Amino acid sequence: MQSTMQQDQLSLATLLKYAATFQGDSTVSTWTGDGVRTMTYRELGAEAGRLANALRGLGVEEGDRVGTFMWNNNEHMVAYIAVPAMGSVLHALNIRLFPEQLVFVANHAEDKVVLVDGTLVPLFAQYLPKLTTVKHVIVVNGDASALTAPDGVTVHDYRTLIDGQSPDFDFPVIDERSAAAMCYTSGTTGDPKGVVYSHRSNWLHAMQVNSPNGMGFDGSDSVLAIVPLFHANAWGLPYAALMSGANVIMPDRFLQPQPLLELMASEKPTFAAAVPTIWGGVLAALAAAPQDISHLKTAVVGGAAVPPSMMRAFEEKHGVRILHAWGMTETSPLGSVAHAPAGVEGEEAWAYRYTQGRFPANVEARLVDDEGKVVPNDGESLGELQVRGGWITGSYYSPSGAEIDPDKFDDGWLRTGDVGKISPNGYLTLVDRSKDVIKSGGEWISSVDLENAVMGHPAVAEAAVIGVPDEKWDERPLVAIVLAEGAAAEAAELRDFLADKFAKWQLPERWTFIAEVPKTSVGKFDKKRLRAQYAEGELDVTTLG
Amino acid sequence: MQSTMQQDQLSLATLLKYAATFQGDSTVSTWTGDGVRTMTYRELGAEAGRLANALRGLGVEEGDRVGTFMWNNNEHMVAYIAVPAMGSVLHALNIRLFPEQLVFVANHAEDKVVLVDGTLVPLFAQYLPKLTTVKHVIVVNGDASALTAPDGVTVHDYRTLIDGQSPDFDFPVIDERSAAAMCYTSGTTGDPKGVVYSHRSNWLHAMQVNSPNGMGFDGSDSVLAIVPLFHANAWGLPYAALMSGANVIMPDRFLQPQPLLELMASEKPTFAAAVPTIWGGVLAALAAAPQDISHLKTAVVGGAAVPPSMMRAFEEKHGVRILHAWGMTETSPLGSVAHAPAGVEGEEAWAYRYTQGRFPANVEARLVDDEGKVVPNDGESLGELQVRGGWITGSYYSPSGAEIDPDKFDDGWLRTGDVGKISPNGYLTLVDRSKDVIKSGGEWISSVDLENAVMGHPAVAEAAVIGVPDEKWDERPLVAIVLAEGAAAEAAELRDFLADKFAKWQLPERWTFIAEVPKTSVGKFDKKRLRAQYAEGELDVTTLG
Q: Which residue of A has its CA nearest to B412?
A: A6
- The upper half-sphere exposure of residue B286, i.e. CA atoms within 13 Å in the direction of its Cβ, equals 21
Residue A462 annotated as catalytic: no
- pLDDT value at B267 more than 70: yes
* Dihedral sign of CA atoms B505, B511, B517, B520 in order: negative
Cis peptide before A458 (omega within 30 of 0): no
Give the model confidence (pLDDT) of A317-361 as tens digits: 999 999 999 999 999 999 999 999 989 999 999 999 999 999 999
Confidence (pLDDT) at A521 = 77
Q: Reduced to 3 states, what is the DSSP secondary structure of residue B17?
A: helix
Give the model confidence (pLDDT) of B175-218 as tens digits: 999 999 999 997 656 899 999 999 999 999 999 999 999 999 99
Contact: B243, A361; criterion CB under 8 Å: yes
Confidence (pLDDT) at A444 = 74
According to DSSP, the residues that pair with A198 across neighbouring strands are A179
Confidence (pLDDT) at A439 = 79
**Torsion, Cα of A324, A326, A331, A334 (10° steps):** -20
Q: Tell me the average pLDDT across B20-40.
A: 97
Q: Interhelix angle for B12-22 vs B199-210, to 10°?
A: 40
* Separation between Cα atoms, residue A132 and residue A151, nearest integer Å: 11
- The answer, for A409 touching chain B at a CB cutoff of 8 Å, is no
The answer to whether the CB of A308 falls within 8 A of the CB of A319 is no
Give the model confidence (pLDDT) of B60-108 as tens digits: 999 999 999 999 999 999 999 999 999 999 999 999 998 999 999 999 9
The answer to whether the CB of B276 falls within 8 A of the CB of B304 is yes
Give the model confidence (pLDDT) of B2-18 as tens digits: 999 999 999 999 999 99
The answer to whether the CB of A74 falls within 8 A of the CB of A97 is no
What is the distance in angstroms between the Cα of A102 and the nearest Cα belonging to chain B?
21
- pLDDT value at A529 more than 90: yes
pLDDT interval class at B442 (50, 70, 90):
low
Q: Which residues contact B496 (CB under 8 A, 6 or more apart)?
A: none
- pLDDT value at B449 more than 90: no
Q: Which residue of B has its CA nearest to A222?
A: B342
Confidence (pLDDT) at B307 = 86
According to DSSP, the residues that pair with B357 across neighbouring strands are B428
The answer to whether the CB of B84 falls within 8 A of the CB of A1 is no
**Cβ atoms < 10 Å from Cβ of A516:** 10
Q: Tell me the average pLDDT across A431-435.
A: 87
* Dihedral sign of CA atoms A137, A141, A144, A150 in order: negative
What DSSP line would sit under B61-123, residue for residue? -TT-EEEEE--BSHHHHHHHHHHHHTT-EEEE--TTS-HHHHHHHHHHTTEEEEEEEGGGHHH
Window 345-364 of B, Cβ < 8 Å to A: 358-362, 364
- pLDDT value at B356 more than 80: yes
* Separation between Cα atoms, residue B290 and residue A360, nearest integer Å: 40
- pLDDT value at A189 more than 80: no
The answer to whether the CB of A124 falls within 8 A of the CB of A147 is yes
The catalytic residues of B are: 185, 330, 439, 444
* Separation between Cα atoms, residue B34 and residue B259, nearest integer Å: 9
**Residues on chain A touching B219 (C-beta within 8 angstroms):** 212-213, 339, 341-342
Confidence (pLDDT) at B187 = 62
Catalytic residue among A317, A373, A435, A439: A439
Q: Which residues contact B373 (CB under 8 A, 6 or more apart)?
A: none
Give the model confidence (pLDDT) of A397-414 as tens digits: 999 999 999 999 999 999
Confidence (pLDDT) at A503 = 87
As a whole-number percent, the residues of chain B with pLDDT over 90 amount to: 90
H-helix or E-strand spanning residue A80: helix A74-85
Confidence (pLDDT) at B306 = 86
What mean pLDDT, rounded, does chain A reach? 95
* Separation between Cα atoms, residue A57 and residue B345, nearest integer Å: 46
* Separation between Cα atoms, residue B220 and residue B328, nearest integer Å: 27
**Residues on chain B touching A426 (C-beta within 8 angstroms):** 21-24
Q: Which residues contact A388 (CB under 8 A, 6 or more apart)?
A: A363, A364, A365, A412, A413, A414, B6, B8
Contact: B216, A212; criterion CB under 8 Å: yes
Q: Tell me the average pLDDT across B389-416.
A: 96
Q: Are strands A413-422 and A383-388 parallel, antiparallel or unpaired?
A: antiparallel
**Torsion, Cα of A14, A20, A26, A31 (10° steps):** 100
Confidence (pLDDT) at A442 = 64
What is the distance in angstroms between the Cα of A167 and the nearest Cα belonging to chain B?
18
Class of residue A541 by CB neighbours under 10 A (exposed 0-12, middle 13-18, buried 19+): middle
* Separation between Cα atoms, residue A539 and residue A531, nearest integer Å: 10
According to DSSP, the residues that pair with A468 across neighbouring strands are A476
According to DSSP, the residues that pair with B480 across neighbouring strands are B464, B512
**Residues on chain A touching B388 (C-beta within 8 angstroms):** 6, 8
* Separation between Cα atoms, residue B511 and residue B494, nearest integer Å: 9
pLDDT interval class at A369 (50, 70, 90):
confident
Report the CATH number of the A436-543 domain: 3.30.300.30
The answer to whether the CB of A428 falls within 8 A of the CB of A452 is no
Contact: B213, A221; criterion CB under 8 Å: no
Give the model confidence (pLDDT) of A157-175 as tens digits: 999 999 999 999 999 999 9
Q: Which residue of B has its CA nearest to A358?
A: B22
Confidence (pLDDT) at B524 = 82
Strand (E) positions, B142-236? 154-157, 179-184, 194-198, 222-225
- pLDDT value at A184 more than 80: yes
- pLDDT value at A370 more than 80: no
What mean pLDDT, rounded, does chain B reach? 95
Give the model confidence (pLDDT) of A223-256 as tens digits: 999 999 999 999 999 999 999 999 999 999 999 9
Q: Are strands A374-375 and A364-368 parallel, antiparallel or unpaired?
A: antiparallel
As a whole-number percent, the residues of chain B with pLDDT over 70 amount to: 99
Cis peptide before B84 (omega within 30 of 0): no
Confidence (pLDDT) at B304 = 78
Interior/surface letters A41-63, b for 16+ CB within 10 angstroms, e for the rest: bbbbbbbbbbbbbbbbebebeee
pLDDT interval class at B444 (50, 70, 90):
confident
**Residues on chain B touching A23 (C-beta within 8 angstroms):** 426
- The answer, for B218 touching chain A at a CB cutoff of 8 Å, is yes
- The answer, for A207 touching chain B at a CB cutoff of 8 Å, is yes
Contact: A412, B2; criterion CB under 8 Å: no
- The answer, for A447 touching chain B at a CB cutoff of 8 Å, is no
According to DSSP, the residues that pair with B272 across neighbouring strands are B224, B299
pLDDT interval class at A187 (50, 70, 90):
low
